[in-house]
Amino acid sequence: MPHAKTSYVCLPCRASYKQPYDGNRPRRICPRCAGALIHVGSAFAAPKRRDTAAWRTLSVLLHAGVGFHKSCCGGPGYRPRTLREVRERMAYARCTGESFARSLARPDVP
Protein backbone atom coordinates (compact mmCIF):
# COMPACT_ATOMS: atom_id res chain seq x y z
CA MET A 1 0.00 0.00 0.00
CA PRO A 2 1.42 3.44 -0.89
CA HIS A 3 2.30 5.89 1.83
CA ALA A 4 -0.12 8.69 2.59
CA LYS A 5 0.82 12.16 1.46
CA THR A 6 1.49 15.02 3.82
CA SER A 7 1.81 18.76 3.29
CA TYR A 8 4.97 20.82 2.97
CA VAL A 9 5.00 24.63 2.81
CA CYS A 10 7.33 27.26 1.40
CA LEU A 11 6.62 30.50 3.30
CA PRO A 12 8.47 32.93 0.97
CA CYS A 13 6.62 31.55 -2.10
CA ARG A 14 3.34 31.08 -0.22
CA ALA A 15 3.03 27.64 -1.76
CA SER A 16 1.93 24.26 -0.40
CA TYR A 17 2.87 20.84 -1.79
CA LYS A 18 1.55 17.38 -0.97
CA GLN A 19 4.27 14.76 -1.03
CA PRO A 20 4.74 11.29 0.42
CA TYR A 21 6.30 11.40 3.88
CA ASP A 22 9.72 9.81 4.02
CA GLY A 23 11.53 9.95 7.37
CA ASN A 24 14.82 9.08 5.65
CA ARG A 25 14.65 12.26 3.58
CA PRO A 26 13.80 15.03 6.06
CA ARG A 27 14.91 17.98 3.89
CA ARG A 28 12.66 18.94 0.96
CA ILE A 29 13.38 21.64 -1.63
CA CYS A 30 10.84 24.12 -3.01
CA PRO A 31 10.51 23.75 -6.80
CA ARG A 32 9.93 27.51 -7.22
CA CYS A 33 12.72 29.12 -5.15
CA ALA A 34 14.96 26.15 -4.16
CA GLY A 35 14.47 27.04 -0.49
CA ALA A 36 13.69 24.58 2.26
CA LEU A 37 10.13 23.31 2.63
CA ILE A 38 8.58 23.05 6.11
CA HIS A 39 6.68 19.89 7.02
CA VAL A 40 3.28 21.03 8.35
CA GLY A 41 1.30 17.78 8.56
CA SER A 42 -1.44 15.93 6.75
CA ALA A 43 -4.38 17.95 8.18
CA PHE A 44 -3.21 21.24 6.64
CA ALA A 45 -5.35 23.37 4.35
CA ALA A 46 -3.38 26.13 2.64
CA PRO A 47 -4.72 29.68 2.52
CA LYS A 48 -4.99 31.47 -0.80
CA ARG A 49 -1.70 32.87 -2.05
CA ARG A 50 -2.96 36.47 -2.02
CA ASP A 51 -4.17 36.26 1.62
CA THR A 52 -1.08 37.81 3.23
CA ALA A 53 -2.60 37.99 6.73
CA ALA A 54 -3.33 34.25 6.74
CA TRP A 55 0.21 33.44 5.58
CA ARG A 56 1.63 35.73 8.28
CA THR A 57 -0.49 33.90 10.86
CA LEU A 58 0.71 30.57 9.48
CA SER A 59 4.31 31.75 9.70
CA VAL A 60 3.89 32.59 13.41
CA LEU A 61 2.32 29.19 14.08
CA LEU A 62 5.05 27.25 12.28
CA HIS A 63 7.90 29.20 13.88
CA ALA A 64 6.34 28.54 17.31
CA GLY A 65 6.37 24.80 16.55
CA VAL A 66 2.62 24.33 16.03
CA GLY A 67 1.84 21.82 13.28
CA PHE A 68 -1.24 20.42 11.58
CA HIS A 69 -0.87 16.73 12.33
CA LYS A 70 -3.88 14.44 12.64
CA SER A 71 -4.59 12.86 15.99
CA CYS A 72 -6.39 9.62 16.73
CA CYS A 73 -9.66 11.50 17.27
CA GLY A 74 -9.67 13.65 14.15
CA GLY A 75 -7.87 16.76 12.99
CA PRO A 76 -5.16 18.88 14.54
CA GLY A 77 -7.46 20.79 16.90
CA TYR A 78 -7.87 24.54 17.15
CA ARG A 79 -5.51 26.85 15.25
CA PRO A 80 -5.91 30.67 15.14
CA ARG A 81 -6.84 32.07 11.75
CA THR A 82 -6.30 35.81 12.24
CA LEU A 83 -3.47 37.97 13.51
CA ARG A 84 -5.79 39.32 16.21
CA GLU A 85 -6.28 35.81 17.61
CA VAL A 86 -2.52 35.25 17.49
CA ARG A 87 -1.85 38.52 19.37
CA GLU A 88 -4.41 37.61 22.07
CA ARG A 89 -2.82 34.21 22.64
CA MET A 90 0.74 35.59 22.62
CA ALA A 91 -0.23 38.22 25.23
CA TYR A 92 -1.81 35.48 27.34
CA ALA A 93 1.37 33.39 27.08
CA ARG A 94 3.53 36.34 28.19
CA CYS A 95 1.27 37.05 31.20
CA THR A 96 0.98 33.45 32.39
CA GLY A 97 4.38 32.06 31.40
CA GLU A 98 2.75 29.38 29.24
CA SER A 99 4.68 28.34 26.13
CA PHE A 100 3.77 30.07 22.87
CA ALA A 101 3.00 26.77 21.15
CA ARG A 102 0.59 25.72 23.89
CA SER A 103 -1.20 29.08 24.03
CA LEU A 104 -1.53 29.26 20.23
CA ALA A 105 -3.30 25.88 20.19
CA ARG A 106 -5.67 26.96 22.99
CA PRO A 107 -9.28 27.34 21.71
CA ASP A 108 -10.28 29.95 24.30
CA VAL A 109 -8.20 32.51 26.12
CA PRO A 110 -9.46 33.00 29.69
Q: 11-42, pLDDT tens digit by residue?
A: 999 999 998 887 777 789 999 999 999 999 88
Confidence of residue 74 (pLDDT cuts 50, 70, 90): low
Confidence of residue 2 (pLDDT cuts 50, 70, 90): low
Which amino acid type is present at position 34?
A
For position 31, what pLDDT does the model report? Answer: 94
Spell out the long-range contacts of 9-14 with Cβ–Cβ below 8 A and sequence spacing 24 or more: 9/37, 9/38, 9/40, 9/44, 9/46, 9/58, 9/62, 10/35, 10/36, 10/37, 10/38, 11/38, 11/55, 11/58, 11/59, 11/62, 14/49, 14/55
Return the domain boundaries, the chain.
5-104
